[in-house]
Amino acid sequence: HATEWHGTKDIRINPNRPKPAVTDPQDVILKVTTTNICGSDLHLYLGYMPGMKSGDVLGHEFMGIVEEVGPDVKSVKKGDRVVACFDIGCGHCFYCNRELFSCCDRSNPSLGQEFLYGHRTAGLHGFGHLTGGWDGGQAEYARVPFADTNTIKVPQHLDDDQVVFLSDILCTAWHANELGGVGKDDVVAIWGAGPVGILAAHCAQVRGAKRVILIDNQAYRLKHAQAKLPGLEIINFAEKDTLKALNELVPNGPDVGIEAVGFHYTKTMSSKVQMAVGLATDPSDMLNEIITAVRKGGRIGVVGVYAGKCNGFNIGAFMEKGMSMAAGQTPCQKYWHKLLEMIEAGKLDPTIVITHRLPLDKVAEGYKIFNEKTDGCIKVVLKPGL
């Protein structure tokens, strides 16, 4: 069984999908035990990402048991329990050598991305044909290329739910804090109380932030986060304008702003962007709100996903306020050993975002409730064995 994309909001289980095979000496094949639905999958689900073809297998967050091993794989063997990461690094190029795995030069054989970005990014699992066309892991079996770089062994005493987010969102939450330089005594504001934003808040607290403020218009998500993370402050922009509310809480503005929303929530439309990349969005509003809110000399970390140009970007305010901003897909491999240690030590508990555990065959229902934010849904984990 595998989850196939067939078009906007058209997600189907194919019970007859052939099991993937080792086709490169550095591959492993995993029997998937847990796989998740991510906010990034929503970009595909909603039809905003170019490069998907009908029948592509979705899913970039997964873990499982190693079932087959290519002859050149050294670090894992049959029977090992491993987590795979969503970004594919070859392990040996200029970028991988600098731990910039999500910029890998060799893992994305697709042509066409230059048109969007002027360069090519790393291959990604389950993200279509601009990022390598690699099949994803919302399936019973998945192929992981360059397995020495893209899998991490996990200890038996930690269960799947504790470690599966090393595949993406825990590393991404940490990356957001790194990009924003979150340190002791910082006041941190986080836009987006999805799984990424909530875990970014968790990481910010663990890193010693003095105050952490989480912003969303979904009251149930904010409440859930507050119950799990004592001391967390919240802003519900359905009730009060974000900038006004932040100004009351932190008159000077937060030291750090983290963007954990992404372009598909942007309501405005730019015909220029549409013409350039076939996307109907101008995400500047989101970024400009953060630039306006964060204090002079402050830092902004952007992990929410963007594609295409940002025509209304407030470079004037950004420059005059002397800010810095960093962004990117997460190089999970850079952080996952350290984060695994922190999970083992009880310092990080990524399971706080899980609200739904569903059998793999209910994946379409999972996408629906996650997208519509119904049934109290925050994070769906899928179990092929359930």
Q: Which residues bind ligand NAD (CB under 6 A)?
A: 38-40, 42-43, 168-169, 172, 191-197, 215-218, 221, 237, 260-262, 265, 286, 303-305, 329-330
**Amino acid (one-letter) located at 267:** K
Q: Tell me the DSSP string of 298-331.
A: -EEEE-S---S--TT--HHHHHHTT-EEEE----
Please give the radius of gyration of the chain, using alpha carbons only, rounded to the nearest integer. Answer: 20
Please give the residues from 237 up to 296 whose contact with Zn ion meets the rule CB under 5 A. Answer: none
- Picked from Zn ion, ligand NAD, none, the partner binding residue 142 (CB below 5 to 8 A depending on kind) is none
Nearer to Zn ion by Cβ, of 73 and 377: the residue is 377
DSSP state of 192: -
| Contact predicate 101/119, CB 8 Å | no
Identify what 154 binds: Zn ion, ligand NAD, none; CB under 5 to 8 Å per kind: none
Minimum CB–partner distance for residue 68 and ligand NAD (Å): 28
* Among ligand NAD, Zn ion, none, partner that 126 touches (CB below 5 to 8 angstroms by kind): none
Q: Which listed residue (11, 28, 37, 38) binds Zn ion by CB under 5 A?
A: 38
Q: Rule CB under 5 A: say whether 135 interacts with Zn ion.
A: no
Nearer to ligand NAD, 14 or 312 (CB): 312
Q: Annotate 209-262 with DSSP letters as a single string.
A: -SEEEEEES-HHHHHHHHHHSTT-EEEETTTS-HHHHHHHH-TT--SEEEE-S-
What's the token pair of residue 130?
């601009």
The nearer residue to ligand NAD, 76 or 201, going by C-beta atoms, is 201
Question: Under a CB-based contact definition with an 8 Å cutoff, are residues 98 and 104 in contact?
Answer: no
216 scored as a contact of Zn ion (CB under 5 A): no
Closer to Zn ion by CB, 61 or 160: give it. 61
How far, in Å, CA of 224 to CA of 249, rounded?
21
Is 40 a binder of Zn ion (CB under 5 A)? yes
At a CB cut-off of 8 Å and minimum separation 6, what does 354 contact?
Answer: 161, 378, 379, 381
Binding flags for Zn ion, 152-191, as an x/- string (CB under 5 A):
----------------x-----------------------
CB atoms < 10 A from the CB of 74, how many? 9
Choosing among Zn ion, ligand NAD, none, which partner's interface includes residue 89 (Cβ < 5 to 8 Å by kind)? none
Burial of 77 by CB count in 10 Å (0-12 exposed, 13-18 middle, 19+ buried)? exposed
Binding mask 46-75 for Zn ion (x = CB under 5 A): ---------------x--------------
How many residues interact with Zn ion (rule CB under 5 A)?
4
Could you say which of Zn ion, ligand NAD, none residue 218 binds, taking C-beta under 5 to 8 angstroms by partner kind? ligand NAD
Q: How far is the CB of 126 from ligand NAD (least distance, A)?
A: 12
The kind and range of the H/E element at 272 are helix 271-277
**Binding partner of residue 90 among Zn ion, ligand NAD, none, CB under 5 to 8 Å per kind?**
none
> What residue ranges bind Zn ion (CB under 5 A)?
38, 40, 61, 168
